[in-house]
Amino acid sequence: MIGDFLNALISFVIISFVVYFLVVLPMNKLIALTNKQKPIDPTTKKCPECLSVVPLGAKKCMFCTSVLKK
């Protein structure tokens, strides 16, 4: 009985190491590579008065004509 238990325990440990090194680690590296992309610079901003989307270089909102801060 003790031999069967030790055999099952050793088999479990070996299989868990194989799964970890052949499945989990490569997937973690793949996920880290895909999340490493540079963030895109914003080209628009929101008007504080009417909450509409206006270009980043605009001085006045085209919808409510309020003056926008830089």
With vertex at residue 60, the alpha carbon angle to CA 57 and CA 64, rounded to the nearest 5 degrees, is: 135
- Could you tell me the two tokens for 38? 């540079």
Place of tokens 């070996």: 14
- 3-state SS class at 32: helix
Neighbours of 61 (CB within 10 A): 20
Q: Does the global pTM surpass 0.85?
A: no
Q: What is the pLDDT of residues 14-53, one digit of tens each?
A: 999 999 999 999 999 999 988 877 777 789 999 999 999 9
pLDDT at 55 over 80: yes
> Cα 65 from chain centroid?
37
